Amino acid sequence: MEMSFRWYGEDDPVKLEYIAQIPGMKGIVTAIYDVPVGETWPMDKINALKARIESVGLKISVIESVPVHEDIKLGLPSRDKYMENYKQTIRNLGSAGIPVICYNFMPVFDWTRSDLEFELPDGSTTLIYEEETVQRMNPRLGDLSLPGWDTSYGEGGLAGLLEQYEEVDEEKLWENLGYFIRGIMPAAVESEVKMAIHPDDPPWPIFGLPRIITNKENLDRFLDLYDSPYHGLTLCSGSLGCDPKNDYVEMVNYFGGVKNRIHFAHLRNVKITGEKSFWESGHLSEWGSLDFYEIVKAYVDYGFDGPFRPDHGRMIWGEKGRAGYGLYDRALGAVYINGLTEAVKKSSQK
């Protein structure tokens, strides 16, 4: 398992130099943030980013994300042009030696929470999702905006975009996803870049928009869209794990051990607090609904050698920063996973 850490570039309050000091750190997960969605990422920006990361002794483990233009998800005629650009971005990243690209296919909104600063009893704050609150939110009124969302909604603005999605149900979204995958995968294969789709977060429809990358059956259906080892998954424990019907450990065994299609892992814990409701609890098993020992064991046992990152942390010790992406709690997650990994490896050698 290759330990990596998400870094949002020079504007990130977490310094790259500090990330390099975390025990066991090998790589960085990042992106180019100033190229508009749908345009090709230029070589000079890719090379500059790579050189900056190598200057602290790390490498780029994964690009997360190359965002998919809404016209592709909507299946509009203009999608072909955006897909050509996407393919060229894959080729450019491949020629710079980037091994993995993470992306998602969630209509309009990326990961969604009802509160980004929910205070836990110990005074730390965390991200939570409560279905009741989300039901009352109306994104059309500008009720919420989350870091990481692409808010360049195009000509008709958000309301116009949501209206366009009225024509897109789950099956239509599958069709559009299939068209995208069949279009881009040859470029990924030829560039030797592994494509790793991120599950929908949370894994159920929100604001009346369809979500399809949500459970084992659908992940399997997704893999069937294209027959290549480069076509794979970002297996995110927090996204899949907030639906109690999803057995994350079983998914690691199946999508990793049996199918060998896990190209990237996101590891965080969630505490399920009710129907479609959860807190991001910090990584420790006893704090959440997921058993981190069993998760790490499943990865180690099947010999996962790809990148993973300790995902989202709480805000602790007075830190201020990007919701979910402070330094301290994610670094605690990193050392916890280091400890579990060493223990699992050594006990299985006996």
List the catalytic residues: 198, 236, 266, 311-312, 325
Instruction: Spell out a b/e string for 169-193, using b for 16 or more CB atoms within 10 Å of the CB, else e.
Output: eeeebbebbebbbebbbebbbebeb
Asked whether position 237 contacts ligand DNO by CB under 6 A, the answer is: no
Least separation in angstroms between CB 349 and ligand DNO: 33
Asked whether position 103 contacts ligand DNO by CB under 6 A, the answer is: yes
| 79-95 helix and 43-54 helix, angle to the nearest 10 degrees | 40
| From 85, 89, 92, 104, residue interacting with ligand DNO (rule: CB under 6 A) | 104
By C-beta, is 104 or 246 nearer to ligand DNO? 104
Asked whether position 5 contacts ligand DNO by CB under 6 A, the answer is: no
Helix, strand, coil percent values for the chain (each to nearest 5): 40, 20, 40
By C-beta, is 87 or 198 nearer to ligand DNO? 198
Q: How far apart are CA 228 and CA 185, in angstroms?
A: 8
By C-beta, is 46 or 68 nearer to ligand DNO? 68
- Among the residue ranges 11-19, 36-44, 84-92, 100-108, the one whose residues contact ligand DNO (CB under 6 A): 100-108
For residue 348, the surrounding DSSP H or E stretch is helix 328-349
Q: Write out the DSSP string of 246-271.
A: --HHHHIIIIIIIT--EEEEEE--EE
Q: How far apart are CA 23 and CA 9, in angstroms?
A: 21
Asked whether position 110 contacts ligand DNO by CB under 6 A, the answer is: yes
Q: How far apart are CA 104 and CA 318, in angstroms?
A: 32
Asked whether position 150 contacts ligand DNO by CB under 6 A, the answer is: no
Asked whether position 89 contacts ligand DNO by CB under 6 A, the answer is: no
Asked whether position 310 contacts ligand DNO by CB under 6 A, the answer is: no
Least separation in angstroms between CB 73 and ligand DNO: 12
Q: Quick one: 235 exposed, middle or buried, by C-beta within 10 A (0-12, 13-18, 19+)?
A: buried
Instruction: Quote the DSSP letter at residue 42.
Output: P
Asked whether position 198 contacts ligand DNO by CB under 6 A, the answer is: yes
Placement of tokens 């996962």 in the chain: 304
Q: Quick one: 348 exposed, middle or buried, by C-beta within 10 A (0-12, 13-18, 19+)?
A: exposed
Asked whether position 148 contacts ligand DNO by CB under 6 A, the answer is: yes
| From 25, 49, 100, 102, residue interacting with ligand DNO (rule: CB under 6 A) | 102
| From 64, 70, 243, 280, residue interacting with ligand DNO (rule: CB under 6 A) | 64
How many residues bind ligand DNO (CB under 6 A)? The answer is 12
Asked whether position 321 contacts ligand DNO by CB under 6 A, the answer is: no
For residue 196, the surrounding DSSP H or E stretch is strand 194-197
- Among the residue ranges 48-56, 99-107, 184-192, 214-222, the one whose residues contact ligand DNO (CB under 6 A): 99-107
Least separation in angstroms between CB 243 and ligand DNO: 16
- Binding-site string for ligand DNO from residue 253 to residue 292, where x marks contact by CB under 6 A and - marks none: -------------x--------------------------
Asked whether position 94 contacts ligand DNO by CB under 6 A, the answer is: no
Beta-sheet strand order (sheet of 270-274): 115-119, 125-130, 277-280, 270-274
Asked whether position 324 contacts ligand DNO by CB under 6 A, the answer is: yes
- Among the residue ranges 77-85, 102-110, 181-189, 284-292, the one whose residues contact ligand DNO (CB under 6 A): 102-110
Contacts of 329 (CB under 8 A, 6+ apart): 124, 282, 313, 314, 315, 316
Instruction: Spell out a b/e string for 2-33, using b for 16 or more CB atoms within 10 Å of the CB, else e.
Output: bbbbbbbeeebebebeebbebeebebbbbbbe
- Would you tell me which residues interact with ligand DNO (CB under 6 A)? 64-65, 102-104, 110-111, 148, 198, 266, 312, 324
